[in-house]
Amino acid sequence: MAHAFSTPYTGVSLILGMGLAAVWLRLFYTGVREMCGQAALTVTGYLRRRPDPAFERTLREAFAELDAELSAVLGDRSRSRPR
């Protein structure tokens, strides 16, 4: 007679157990209120949280510097375009 839990079912039950443990830990550490808020943001389309203000400022400054350098390299090309 074969055992009820063969090798493939054991792997599935381990994965399900790890999934349940992950959900339990998420509920335990973040709380139901924050998870409901995140779910509401996901459903309404706002999937991302606002980035760190310092990171956003640094990134904007880097792109502004890159834009200035590209403008200096390319020069004013509006006069050379045929109309």
Question: In 3-state terms, what secondary structure has residue 1?
Answer: coil
> Where do the H-state alpha helices sit in the chain?
7-30, 32-44, 53-74
Q: What is the dihedral of CA 29, 30, 36, 38, to 10 degrees?
A: -130
Going by pLDDT thresholds of 50, 70 and 90, the confidence category of residue 10 is low
Going by pLDDT thresholds of 50, 70 and 90, the confidence category of residue 41 is confident
- The pTM for the full model equals 0.36
DSSP assignment letter at 52: P
Contact criterion met (CB below 8 Å) for 35 and 26: yes
Going by pLDDT thresholds of 50, 70 and 90, the confidence category of residue 52 is confident
Q: Return mean pLDDT, the chain.
A: 77
Percent of the chain exceeding pLDDT 70 equals 70
User: Residue 62 pLDDT more than 80?
Assistant: yes
